[in-house]
Structure 1
Amino acid sequence: MLNESEAAERKHLDDIHGRLLMALREIEDKLSDSYKDIIEAKKYLWVNMAQLDAAEWAANRVDISLSIDTGEKTAAKRQRISKLVSTPYFGRVDFKAVDRLEVDAYYIGVHAFSEEESQHNLIYDWRSPVASLFYDFNVGEAFYQAPMGKVDGDITTKRQYKIKDGILDYVIESSFNIHDDVLQKELSSTSDEKMKNIVATIQQEQNKIIRNETSSELIIQGVAGSGKTSVALHRVAYLLYRYKDTLTSSNVLIISPNKVFSDYISNVLPELGEEKIMEVSMEELAEKELAGICKFETFYEQVAGLLEGQDEEIAERIRYKAGMSLIQDLDIFVKHAELHFFEVDNIELEQVFISKKEILDCYQSITGMPLKQRLDKTATIISGQSKTRDGERIPPADARKIKAAIKKMYRYPSLLTLYKEFYNYLGKPGMLKLTGKNKLEFADVFPLIYLKLQVEGAAPMQMVKHLLVDEMQDYTPVQYAVLAACFPCKKTILGDSSQSVNPYSSTSLPAIKNVFPQAETIELLKSYRSTLEIANFAQRIRRNDRLIPVERPWRGA
């Protein structure tokens, strides 16, 4: 067996560490040379600007751009190698494939590292297919999904390492997934206020989430301390690795509750070699959608109003607007608006007459599009096919008048007045209460946006190919309906339905699944955060019989 003894493991580590340091020096030299080349090329362009023709100028600019791109890739590689210099790998799995005579040893690290000449892998990225053996199987029969298909075989050895500053702290032989001793050491280690990567201690149920490639919507219901946010971020890192040709960090968006959360998670993806990804709050999305339409109070202003208790009916308004029935009522209302709010009349100009029947027939023949687009298309068709009384084509000025006249036939051109009519239609006008001139309560923000999308149509954000939603319990069904319309991409939604901070507007898992009926749900029930003493105390306050506390050592003061 390769490196059977601990002494052999230490010698192997020294060899790998030396190779990494050599690779790092070579990369530093390349970066220095690349920087000098770019400076010289720019200087050449500046000095010879007057003598170069357009083709030469363009060719030199392309060369500089290519050099910069190469330099950026080399700098990214330097960052990965620098990370490995301190901790080259954390695990090893020896695997004998059924079609091979020899056992292959795979060392698993945060990043991959290979010999420059042969490109033989010395360290495998934790996201690589073969690394799933380390997370998913005990010693014995196992398999992994390679690009060419399923590879069956047997795991003969599993080891876990603690390496810091290139020095081996310990090595543990493990027949099981992640050895309890390793997990205990990691859980008891000093932590700061930033989330860290967990690649050395990913559990089997967590790995299943991270490597899930099939679910269009994946909902992670996790108890407090189950690592759901960290697992979701590692899932993003895995998908960026797996689909590197079609998915980049600029294609991923996080919906997060606040900037404190942003700071908390900021360290994870860069540690894993990925760029930070875009992050917005629901209020920032709302500001974009309602710009020029109305203002609204913030969520915190809504909570303050609840605490002050000046409006006894505010809780009732929030509860209704946080329920599934609101979406159903809005859908019914939009259909009512399409049927009854287009008040058709004849159009009569000096040389043109258009009957209301002609307009109505055209409107009713158009289906499968939102109300406003339906009106616009009706106006375009009627103005385009109309003739003068003499059978001539109408002048552009008359065409514009016809379009304007048809659009004015819609009773509620203002989105805000249409939203007000919604509550009149329900027979509940008191459900809408403005906090100022054209200023909504926060509970009305996403119902109004949902109505806007239904009436005007959504402009899907095609650049976003994966959406990550954290603290799922704090968003209402109508907010999820808005996200579904704006982001028709794959989604990872995570949270704990028992941890909502939203008074009267928390959302249950079944309610979220009503919006995403095809979603796959995975539950994380093990809590790694607290000691048994704290977990038992918390259970006396609010019991959760499904929570499984993981024993971890007490760190005294």
Structure 2
Amino acid sequence: MLRKKRLDIYILIMKGDYPMVRNENLELEKEQSRMDHVVSVIDKEIERLAYEYTEKLERQKELLKESSSIKINNSSNEAMWESSGELREFEQNLVIKSNELNQVQNRRAVLEKMQEDPYFGRIDYHNVNEKEEEQIYVGIGSLFDKEENLIVDWRAPISALYYEGNVGDRVKLRFGEHIEAFEVDLKRQFRVRNATITGMIDTDNVMGDPYLLEVLESSSSNLMGPVIATLQKEQNRIVRESTSKNVLIQGVAGSGKTVVMMQKIAYLLYAYRNFLKAEDILLFSPNRIFQAYISQVLPSLGEWDVAGNTFSQFITRRLPSFSLKRSDVGAASSYGAVKGSLPFYDALQRYSRLLKKKHLKFRDIVLHDEVLISKEEIEYYYETIHSQGSLAAKLEILRVQLLQKLEILKEEAVDAEWVDEELQHLSAASMHQFERQTHDITKMEGNIRKEIVAKAFLTVEKKINSQSHIRFLAQYIHFLRVIPQLINLEEFNVSKDDWQEHVKEVVEMLKEKEFSMEDMTAYYALLLQMKGIMQQNSYQYICIDEIQDITPFQLKLLKDLYPRAKYVMAGDLNQNIWQNRLSNQELHQIFKEEEIESHLLLTSYRSTREIMAFADQFASLPERTAKPIRSREKPAVFYANQTDFSEKIRQTILSRIEKGERIAFLSPTIKGAESFASYLDDWNIDYQKIYDENDFLNKQVILMPISLAKGLEFDVAIGLGTDEILKGLSKESYQQIWYTIFSRAMHQLYLVVSNEQTELLKGIDPSTYLHGQETIEVEGGSSNLNK
């Protein structure tokens, strides 16, 4: 019965008719009048903030001018401390003024968004103990006019009624330490465009959420849009749950994991605004394309300043001297699985303890092509150090000893021949300067010699401070070579001989200053073991989307870098196309005794029942079957060996283009995508190749590998699975790749294979897809593929 009512609502939406509001015309007039008043208040507030911003900016400029006139007085210690204290006070004032400017700007940005869409919902309710009826309107930010609360921020505790309650429900809400119960008397949803109410419905338990279905039936976009109006009950509870230190949000494709994570970030910034700032949050996305796709989500929720990262950005910033080798899904190997594992991280830590005793790779410390301190001498110093601390602590002691040795060498070098040569080539002006300083020729020469030596040794001193006497790259290669003694490689189906051949490939890459992602991460981790944990930002929250794309090694590294941070993680192990082997067991091993609150979302809001019935057959975790809420056509298969294949798919795609739908041709690999490009060229279709994560989606038709399409969605997805493309895929990632490709489709899925005997469709229920000879229904009519 409930399913039939949902279908009736869906039909009403498709027709443009909505469930009636009692006294609709009168109510609509009242609501529009109220919205007009709210917009006028917003306009005035924006105008006031613009004036306030100008005033604060001018004051900041004045402070900058005043601070430039402050000089440190070195005439006495007292004067120096007084003047430096004055400068510090100015600097603190500048920081305060800068923060105030940011707050004003952010508030203006929220209000400017609210000008066009002030609020999306209304709740009438009463406290069950008091019976007095109250009313709130819910939007992305709060708004007051004198004593009246015109709009309540969606993150406020009372706003949970909008997401948790339907008419007649009794909802318990927590306010600080106490809980209150409320009954919902009316729940009204608004559809707003340019501050005009274009649709309005009153909902109850039976009717569900018609606007949600309307949003889901709309076309996709290059940017993920606002999501707070359609946040569902189970999602809202995850967003507002804040008692657990670490949260894991798992779910099927299209279940809103990213939406929930972003809303949780916005909620945390609101609920803990006195203790948590945007710069206290580190957010990871799977790639830069997805990062751009979600870039407007947090601003649409009222938050601007949370910086997004990919792990590749995070690691390359720390090793700027090296370039990152681009990887493809087809290139995923057992070697990468080894380097991404927890045993590999454990091996690195055991190796660092071994380095406290032996195997450290040193190089000579040289000046003017002469050895100042030989690597053998450095090794001797190192072996004589008795330290109970870490490897980094012992190497720090070595650094200090080398600097002390350098001071002795400086004194010995004063009478060296190269100093004589430098002295002879000194300019007359420099000689006169030293003469004026000393008024003594004997002292003058001594000072000049010391100055020459000091300048020459300065470079050496810098190198010692940066520990360039350690051959870090050689040390990493040595670590890789001894891995067979530290790890049982057979567990990864890798032989010792194959591993040593792989190490040779790494050496060749390093000659070009190039690293794979796994090697760059491991090398950075080794540097941390040798140099110590460098000063890090004390992030309070680490938020990781597509957690299955993070290797156990990378997650353990983050955990060691930021041990006090809370972690919010979202992902779907069915989409583990990189085979990173991040299991629940490994998660709990990484977080040890820390609590992880797990949530599982099974409702699919992106794809239709027909698409997910097909895609779920490729899921590696079949118990996590998606529960879609929409229906459309079945997926359709095109056979490339048919003579009219090219014309059939061309006509189908052109009809979709005419409807304004966004279309993605998705391949498991870049090579596979490139092999299909000639078809699109022949069809004279305006399309965009996306082979690099620095590209930005800007065309209606896209050709890209699935590794760059993670998290994205398209009206139409075409999976490219010819025999030539299938050849390069590893069996381990086979299911996850195709599940991920198929679940990118919102409304229609097509699949291109070589013929009816393709390996890809073996074991797949033929009733879940249409064959090339069948008629494929499309919106507004049918397209016979035999034409």
Q: Report Cα offsets for 1:256-311 as digits up to 9, x if no partner.
A: 2322112210121121221153122222222233345xx354232x667x3xxxxx
Q: 1:61, 1:337 → 2: CA distance? A: 45
In the alignment, is the contact (CA less than 8 A) between 1:16 and 1:88 conserved in 2? no
Q: Which amino acid aligns with 2:543?
A: L
| Greater CA drift, 524-533 or 19-28 | 19-28
Aligned match for 1:323, one of 341, 344, 366: 341
Q: What SS is found at the alignment partner of 1:338? A: coil
Once residues 42 and 225 of structure 1 are traced to their aligned partners in structure 2, the CA distance between those partners, rounded to angstroms, is: 47
Instruction: Structure 1: state its 5+ residue gaps.
Output: 307-313, 344-355, 385-393
The answer to whether the aligner puts 1:124 opposite 2:152 as a matched pair is yes
**Residue number among 12, 17, 21 corresponding to 2:35 in the alignment:** 17
Instruction: Give the conservation status (yes or no) of the 8 Å contact 2:329–2:577.
Output: no
SS state of the match for residue 190, structure 1?
coil
Deviations, residues 14-40 of structure 1 (Å, cap 9, x unaligned) = 343232232134235435645776798
Whether the 8 Å CA contact 2:381–2:398 is kept in 1: the answer is: no
Residues 306-350 of structure 1: per-residue CA shift (max 9 Å, x gap): 3xxxxxxx833223213222122222222222244589xxxxxxx
2:75 corresponding residue in structure 1 = none
- Per the TM alignment, residue 227 of structure 1 is displaced from its structure 2 partner at its CA by 1.1
Give the AA of the match of 2:48.
K
Match of 1:145 in 2: 174
Residues 400/27 of structure 1: CA separation in 2 closer, same or farther (3 Å cut): farther
The gaps in structure 2 that reach 5 residues or longer are 1-20, 72-86, 362-378, 413-460, 485-495, 633-746, 748-778, 781-787
Matched to 2:138, the amino acid is: I
Q: 1:536 aligns with which of 585, 609, 613?
A: 613
Letter in 2 for 1:171: I
2:449 matched residue in structure 1: none
Aligned counterpart, 2:628: 550
Superposed counterparts of 1:32-431, under 5 Å: 33-34=51-52, 73-115=103-145, 117-118=146-147, 120-138=148-166, 139-147=168-176, 149-164=178-193, 165-175=195-205, 179-292=208-321, 295=322, 297-300=324-327, 306=331, 315-341=333-359, 363-364=386-387, 366-367=388-389, 370-377=390-397, 397=408, 413-427=470-484, 428=496, 429-431=500-502
- Please state how far the C-alpha of 1:130 moved relative to its aligned partner: 0.9
Contact 1:34 1:67 in 2 (8 A): no
Which moved further from structure 2: 520-529 or 251-260? 251-260
- Paired residues of 2:53 and 2:104 also in contact (CA < 8 A): no
Cα pair distance change 1:95/1:361, threshold 3 Å: farther
SS, match of residue 276 in structure 2? coil
**Letter of the 2:627 counterpart:** P
Letter in structure 2 aligned against 1:199: I
Counterpart contact for 1:195–1:230, Cα < 8 Å: no
For 1:83, the aligned partner's letter is: K
Change (3 A) 1:399 1:92: farther
Distance 1:18 1:66, change over 3 A: farther
- The corresponding residue for 1:454 is 529
The corresponding residue for 1:477 is 552
Residues 164-211 of structure 1 show CA distances to partners (whole Å, capped at 9, x for unaligned) of: 3322512123237x9232322221123322111221121122112212
For residues 30-56 of structure 1, give each alpha carbon's deviation from its aligned partner in whole angstroms, at most 9, with x where no partner exists.
35645776798899999xx99xx989x
Whether the 8 Å CA contact 1:157–1:175 is kept in 2: the answer is no
Given that 1:112 and 1:123 are in contact with CA atoms closer than 8 Å, whether structure 2 keeps it comes out as yes
Larger radius of gyration: 2
1:511 equivalent among 581, 586, 604: 586
The separation in 2 between residues aligned to 1:400 and 1:545, in whole angstroms, is: 75
**TM-fit CA distance, 1:378:** 6.9
With over 3 angstroms needed to count, the CA separation of the structure-2 counterparts of 1:36 and 1:468, relative to structure 1, is closer
Q: Is the 8 A contact 1:257 1:282 kept in 2?
A: yes
- The CA deviation at 1:529 is 0.6
| CA 1:215–1:361: 2 relative to 1, 3 Å | farther
- Look up the equivalent residue of 2:624 and give its one-letter code: R
1:487 equivalent in structure 2: 562
Taking a change above 3 Å as real, the CA distance of residues 329 and 62 of structure 1, as seen in their structure-2 partners, is: closer
In 2, the alpha carbon distance for the partners of 1:400 and 1:228 equals 65
| Counterpart Cα distance in 2 of 1:16 and 1:161 | 13
In the alignment, the residues of structure 2 paired with residue 66 and residue 379 of structure 1 have an alpha-carbon distance, to the nearest angstrom, of: 40
Give the secondary structure class of the aligned counterpart of 2:575. coil
Q: Give the Cα separation in 2 of the matches to 1:521 and 1:39.
A: 46
Structure 1 residue 128 displacement after superposition: 0.5
Q: d(CA) in 1 for partners of 2:142 and 2:251?
A: 30
Following superposition, the deviation at residue 473 of structure 1 comes to: 1.4
CA displacement 1:397-450 (0-9 Å, x = unmatched): 38999xx9xx99x9x932222222223433454452323315444432222222
| Residues 29 and 133 of structure 1: CA distance in aligned 2, closer, same or farther (over 3 Å) | closer
Q: Residues 481 and 180 (structure 1 numbering): CA distance in 2 closer, same or farther, change over 3 Å?
A: same
Change (3 A) 1:62 1:237: closer
What's the CA shift for 1:224? 0.7
CA RMSD of superposed structures (Å): 4.5
CA spacing shift, 1:480–1:7, aligned 2, 3 Å: same
1:247 is aligned with what amino acid? L
Task: Report if aligned partners of 1:481, 1:515 keep a CA contact under 8 Å in 2.
Answer: yes
Structure 1 residues 534 and 451: alpha-carbon distance in aligned structure 2, compared to 1, 3 A threshold: same
Offset at 1:140? 3.0
- What displacement does 1:83 show? 3.0
- Confirm or deny that 1:521 pairs with 2:598: yes
1:382/1:546 CA distance change after superposition, 3 Å: closer
| Kept after mapping to 2: 8 A contact 1:159/1:174 | no
CA distance in 2, matches of 1:281, 1:449: 16
Taking the aligned partners of 1:279 and 1:43, their CA distance within structure 2 comes to 30
Q: 1:444 to 1:83 in 2, by over 3 A?
A: closer
| More displaced 10-residue stretch of structure 1: 540-549 or 12-21 | 540-549
Structure 2 CA distance for partners of 1:127 and 1:460, relative to 1, 3 Å: farther
Flag the 1:72–1:439 CA change in 2: closer, same or farther, 3 A. Answer: closer
> Closer, same or farther in 2 for the Cα pair 1:22/1:183, shift >3 Å?
closer
User: In the alignment, is the contact (CA less than 8 A) between 1:87 and 1:163 conserved in 2?
Assistant: yes
C-alpha contact (below 8 Å) 1:460/1:486 kept by paired residues: no
Q: What number of residue pairs does the alignment pair up?
A: 510
Q: In the alignment, which of 530, 541, 546 is matched to residue 466 of structure 1? A: 541
* Matched residue SS, 1:155: strand
Does the aligned pair in 2 maintain the 1:226–1:528 contact within 8 Å? Answer: yes
Question: Structure 1 residues 32 and 229, CA, compared in 2 at 3 Å: closer, same or farther?
Answer: closer
Q: Does the CA-based 8 Å contact 1:497-1:509 persist in structure 2? A: no
Q: How high is the sequence identity, in percent, across the aligned residues?
A: 25
Report the AA paired with residue 372 of structure 1: A
